[in-house]
Amino acid sequence: MPLLDDIVAGLSDSCSPQLRLPEHRQIELSTARKLISFAPADADSEAPMPLALGACRTFMMLDAFHEARLAGAEGVSYWQRYTDLPRKSLSDKIGAEIYRILRVVRLLTFHRLGEISMKNGLLDIKGEVAREVLWLRISPAGLKLIESAAVWYMDAVRQPYPDAYIDAMMAEYYADIIGEIKKYSDEKRSLNQFRKPFATFNRHFRLDCASFPLKIGTDALVIEITELHRNASVYPVDFYLPYGEDLYIVPAEALENGKITLAELPKWQARSPDGTLPARYRARLGYEVPVKNQPMT
């Protein structure tokens, strides 16, 4: 594995929380004035600079990631790099917008005219660079989502997930990110919008499953699971499905009543040349072979 991929893998591990705590983000179900009040903030509780510096670190890795993969990318401006990024897939289009947002944070954090402040729970990053007004107003949770999406996008290169799976995951990240951005401005003024492949795709957690009853029909495969487990909102299962000589990773969201047609199956083919998973997946999907007549403990 190239050195950059090793660094990205390490970044992914270091950014991943060791504790699986609930994620808290705001949702507004009414335009009515909020009736809650808050105690005065501690001096360090709303310090914006650590948040901005964390995003800058992620941007530096993302920039190096693209520079290593784009021919003739050395020495170009950040904006030119954004313009030159590949956009063949939905995930690449979203990845380009992630780069674009982080670019604003990077430029304003270290520019003499950049201003970074925190007010009413929102991070405000603004300033004028090369006669262009750059402005990002976003929640702290939103900025962390951008970092998370960038790290997941870079790390996906070494994962076996099919392109359709990566598209779905990145689209879900991006939809949540857009919901956390309250103001944005750069050379193109507004961010690009994209249609999600699925109405919902659980990015918070996924359930890996390699053991399930499978019925093979003439034009479809049917994963025979209970009605309860067919609810992808409650059980966002990724089915690791060997078929023929290939391996497929099919998310529950892609199934209709547990069924996927053979015509749709190829889009979920794992990016594995011989149908095997990387060794590191053994901890996620490996299982102990039961011994007959051995009592349970």
pLDDT(126) > 70: yes
Closest by CA to 117, choosing from 62, 41, 186, is: 41
pLDDT digits (tens, 9 = 90+) for 269-283: 999 878 889 888 888
Between 5 and 184, the higher pLDDT residue = 184
pLDDT digits (tens, 9 = 90+) for 51-85: 899 999 999 999 999 999 887 767 789 999 999 99
Strands 207-209 and 237-243: parallel
pLDDT digits (tens, 9 = 90+) for 280-294: 888 888 766 666 766
Tokens linked to 290: 């039961």
Q: Please state, in angstroms and rounded to a whole number, the distance separating the CA atoms of residues 8 and 2.
A: 10
What is the residue extent of each domain of the chain? 3-16+47-185, 207-285
**Quick one: residue 41, left, alpha or beta (phi over 0 = left, psi -120 to 50 = alpha)?**
beta
DSSP state of 248: E
Rounded alpha-carbon distances, angstroms, from residue 288 to 24, 124, 186, 283, 291: 36, 52, 54, 11, 9
Specify the pLDDT at position 288. 64
pLDDT digits (tens, 9 = 90+) for 19-63: 667 777 777 776 666 667 767 666 545 568 888 999 999 999 999
Q: How confident is the model at residue 18 (pLDDT cuts 50, 70, 90)?
A: low
163-183 average pLDDT score: 97
Strands 181-185 and 207-209: unpaired
Average pLDDT, the chain: 88
The DSSP secondary structure of 190-236, one letter per residue, reads S------SSS----S--EEE----EEE-SSEEEE---TGGG-TTT--
pLDDT(16) > 70: no
Q: Please state, in angstroms and rounded to a whole number, the distance separating the CA atoms of residues 232 and 250.
A: 12
Closest by CA to 172, choosing from 210, 140, 218, 204, is: 204
Specify the pLDDT at position 249. 97
Q: How confident is the model at residue 185 (pLDDT cuts 50, 70, 90)?
A: very high
Who's near 55: CB < 8 A, 6+ residues apart?
102, 105, 106, 109, 143, 146, 147
Q: Please state, in angstroms and rounded to a whole number, the distance separating the CA atoms of residues 30 and 32.
A: 5
With contact defined as beta carbons under 8 Å apart, do 95 and 85 qualify? yes
Instruction: Please give the helix or strand (H or E) that residue 259 lies within, else none.
Output: strand 259-261
Percent of the chain with pLDDT over 70: 84
205-215 average pLDDT score: 93
Per-residue burial over 76-91, b = 16 or more CB atoms within 10 Å of its CB, e = otherwise: eebbebbeebeeeebb
Tokens linked to 118: 């925190």
